[in-house]
Amino acid sequence: MKTPREFLSDLRDEIEAHPAVNHLFLNRLATSPMSRQDYRVFAENHYPLVCAFTTYMELLLLRAPDSEARLWLSRVLVDEYGEGSEGKDHPTLYASFVDACGGDSGRLGPERLPSPAHAFIQAHQRLVRRGTFLEGLGAVGPGHEWAIPKMFDAIVPGLRRAGLSDDQIGYFTLHLEQDEDHGAWLEEALVRTAGTPEAQAQVRRGALTSLEARMRFWDGVQAAVIRYRQPRATRADGPSPRTLLHEVALTSWDGMTMGRALETWRARRATDARPTLDGMLLACRSLT
């Protein structure tokens, strides 16, 4: 059996090499000259995740098995509420980034959640509410706090290249430093609780489930950025070749006015079925 420290060291390596943390989209942000318009689409998709993060922690805090675990979780939460950022909580910091990119952060609250963000938040709410405490801790600890510095490390140079000032990207630069601390604090909580193989498996399962959701989230954000640039872009090739029938059927569907109208209708229905950001946050808070 691995000691908790050995287990956590291996888990850190696994997370650092995970496709979600090293997503091609993040590397593209690091290497390509994206514009503020691209970052606005990015920010509008990412903002709900920032707003929702503390709700996972709050739910988890209620389920913490002992006061020591509660203490470590509280330390992270206090920072998220704005302790380390001149009293500005993280959603407030992020809102200034949204506005700097040309978005309107005030408009995002009453709007329906974008699909990638909704899926991500749902996956995490399931983990912290229905999973075991350790699965939840794995998701918000290693799954978030260990992953975020590496992911943001890819994002920050691109933001600077797009001409955004240090103040405007404060949310990201703050996390490069703060999440190292958060990760270390949550590691302390994990060392005390991940002593058995069963506990270790739960922590790992939570972290990896969180990262799977993260990967789908980045896929979705990348698709949203591309859709913004080319709303009429065609369907990209997949890993297996399409048959002639498939190609013709797709083209016929795309060519039919009714086909396009049906797709628009379906997309609108799907959007309407998603909660607004404000509604979702309210629902989460009512649980705590």
Partner 1 sequence: MKILLVMPTPFETGRLGLENVIWLAEPVALTSIAATVSDRHEVRLLDMRLEREETLPETLADWKPDLVGTTSMTTDVYQAKAVLRMTRQIVPNALTVVGGHAPTLQPKEFAEPYIDVVVQGEGEDTFQQLCQRWDVQRAHGDRTFAGVAGTRYHDHDTIRVEAKRSQVRSLDDLPAPDRSLVAKYHGRYFFTSARPMASIFTSRGCSFDCNFCAIWEFYERRTRYLSAAKIVDQMQACEERFIFLLDDNFLTNKKRILALCEELERRKVKKLWMTQGRTDFVADNPDIMARLAKNGLVGLLSGFESNDDDNLAALRKKNTFDKNKRANDILRDNGIFSTGIFMVRADWSKEQFDALYDYINTLEIGIPLVTILTPLPGTQLYRLYRDKLMTDDYRLFDLLHCVLPTRLPRAEFYKHFARAIDATEVSCYRAMRSLLFKRPSVWWAMGRNLLWFYARTWRYQRVHRDYTSFLRDEEGLLNGPGARGHLTWRDVQYPTGSEPRTDREGQSLIPLRIPKRTWADDVADASQNPHNHDLPALAAGE
CB of 21 to partner 1, least distance (A): 8
The token pair at 262 is 């049906």
Q: Based on CB atoms, which residue is closest to partner 1, 83 or 219?
A: 219
Asked if 222 and 25 touch (Cβ cutoff 8 Å), the reply is yes
CB of 132 to partner 1, least distance (A): 27
Contacts of 114 (CB under 8 A, 6+ apart): 44, 45, 48, 220, 224
CB of 274 to partner 1, least distance (A): 22
The alpha carbon torsion through 40, 42, 43, 49 (nearest 10 deg) reads 160
Q: Based on CB atoms, which residue is closest to partner 1, 22 or 271?
A: 22
CB of 259 to partner 1, least distance (A): 12
Q: Based on CB atoms, which residue is closest to partner 1, 17 or 258?
A: 17
Q: Based on CB atoms, which residue is closest to partner 1, 243 or 286?
A: 243
Rg (CA), the chain: 20
**Which class for 231: exposed (0-12), middle (13-18), buried (19 or more C-beta within 10 A)?**
exposed
The gap from C-alpha 227 to its chain's centroid, in whole angstroms, comes to 20
CB of 155 to partner 1, least distance (A): 12
CB of 180 to partner 1, least distance (A): 17
* Residues 114, 119, 122, 124, CA torsion sign: negative
Task: Compute the distance between CA of residue 246 and CA of residue 172 in angstroms, rounded to an integer.
Answer: 43
Query: How far does the chain reach from its first CA to its final CA, in angstroms?
Result: 36
Q: Based on CB atoms, which residue is closest to partner 1, 24 or 184?
A: 24
Q: Based on CB atoms, which residue is closest to partner 1, 61 or 223?
A: 223
Q: Based on CB atoms, which residue is closest to partner 1, 2 or 235?
A: 235
Q: Based on CB atoms, which residue is closest to partner 1, 17 or 273?
A: 17
Asked if 56 and 137 touch (Cβ cutoff 8 Å), the reply is no
CB of 238 to partner 1, least distance (A): 7
Task: Compute the distance between CA of residue 235 and CA of residue 253 in angstroms, rounded to an integer.
Answer: 12
CB of 250 to partner 1, least distance (A): 7
Pinpoint the alpha helices (H) of 64-196. Answer: 67-80, 90-100, 105-108, 115-130, 133-140, 148-161, 170-193
Could you list the residues that contact partner 1 (CB under 8 A)? 16-19, 21-25, 27-28, 30-33, 35-38, 150, 154, 215, 219, 222-223, 225-239, 241, 244, 247-248, 250-251, 254-255
